């Protein structure tokens, strides 16, 4: 029978080298960024709730929300959230593909990593370019 | 030599209560959020610069007698918040090692998700609810 798995080993087990040892492959960056954007989007849910509550509360609170969100710090936050959402969406699709067994090849993984980075940035920029050039607001 | 059965020795040490439930629910909510996020991005772009009455008419628009956009917004908020709880749980599991801090943060995340979800749903009901 095996020993108690929680008992301290007789001598220290060999440790695998940690993060700081490795040269960063792009897949490492996209993996960590997926987590960072996920945490960032958690704060985005507060912005979404704030927007909905402001609309439900009447014209004055909504104007206050618009004032905050259209000033440059608000625009910066919204751009960050737009990019985080695009990134988490695209890289999340990559995660689901992994779960189905696709996309694990070294070259494929690196190529898809770069695709996600560039495409998410392009989507966020395109969203704001459309909004600022008058192509947004079609549901008004 | 111990008289313990192998099962008894591992019980309570791992995911012996819930199995793959967390993993599976994170994937199901992720898949559901793909079309919902595309819809949300379309709505957000379409409502750029909209006044409160324009947003109200978008959310109360009822092509089939039901406020479709408000319902989609509610579904988006609820599933996103559930996905958020599952995701932040993994982050807490990975980085917080003290048992007390872990339980505190897990409860805090769930409390915040409930508060944000309740505020969003209450707002949507005020906007497009019955009467």
A 3-22 → B contacts, CB under 8 A: 4-6
Of A5, A62, A136, the CB nearest to B46: A136
Tell me which residue has tokens 């459309």: A130
Task: Evaluate whether B76 touches B113 at the Cβ level (below 8 Å).
Answer: no
Q: Which residues of A41-51 are buried (b: 16+ CB within 10 A; e: fewer)?
A: bbebbebbbbb
**CA-based nearest residue to A133, from B10, B39, B45, B82:** B45
Q: CB of A45 within 8 Å of any CB in chain B?
A: yes
Q: What is d(CA A71, CA A80) in angstroms, rounded to the nearest whole number?
A: 14
Kindly give the confidence (pLDDT) of every residue in chain B, 131 residues in length, as a single tens digit, with 9 standing for 90 and above: 678 888 888 777 766 567 688 999 999 999 999 999 999 999 999 999 999 999 999 999 988 889 999 999 999 999 999 999 999 999 999 999 999 999 999 999 999 999 999 999 999 999 998 85
Please state the φ and ψ torsions of residue A6, each to the nearest 5 degrees. -95, -10
Q: Which residues of B53-87 are buried (b: 16+ CB within 10 A; e: fewer)?
A: eebbebbeeeeeeebebbebbbebbebbbbbbbbb
Read off the tokens for A95: 């995660």
Of B13, B31, B53, the CB nearest to A96: B31
Q: Is the whole model's pTM more than 0.80, yes or no? A: yes
Read off the tokens for A102: 């696709």
| DSSP letter, residue A9 | P
């Amino acid at each position: 029978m095996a020993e108690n798995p929680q008992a301290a080993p007789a001598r220290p087990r060999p440790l695998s080298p940690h993060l700081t040892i490795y040269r960063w492959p792009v897949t490492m960056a996209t993996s960590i960024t997926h987590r960072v954007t996920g945490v960032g989007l958690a704060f985005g849910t507060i912005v979404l709730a704030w927007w909905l509550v402001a609309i439900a509360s009447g014209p004055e609170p909504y104007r206050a929300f618009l004032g905050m969100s259209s000033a440059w710090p608000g625009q910066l936050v919204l751009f960050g959230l737009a990019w985080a959402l695009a990134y988490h969406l695209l890289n999340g699709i990559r995660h689901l593909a992994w779960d189905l067994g696709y996309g694990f090849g070294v070259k494929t993984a690196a190529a898809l990593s770069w695709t996600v980075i560039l495409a998410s940035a392009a989507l966020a920029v395109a969203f704001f370019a459309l909004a600022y050039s008058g192509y947004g607001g079609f549901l008004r | 030599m111990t008289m313990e059965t192998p099962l008894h020795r591992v019980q309570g040490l791992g995911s012996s209560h819930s199995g793959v439930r967390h993993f599976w629910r994170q994937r199901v909510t992720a898949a559901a959020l793909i079309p919902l996020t595309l819809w949300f991005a379309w709505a957000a772009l379409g409502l750029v610069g909209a006044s409160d009455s324009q947003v109200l008419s978008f959310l109360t628009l009822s092509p089939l007698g039901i406020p479709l956009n408000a319902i989609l917004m509610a579904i988006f908020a609820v599933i996103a918040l559930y996905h958020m709880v599952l995701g932040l749980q993994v982050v807490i599991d990975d980085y917080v090692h003290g048992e007390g801090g872990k339980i505190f943060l897990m409860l805090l995340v769930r409390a915040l998700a409930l508060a944000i979800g309740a505020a969003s749903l209450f707002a949507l009901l005020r906007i497009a609810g019955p009467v």
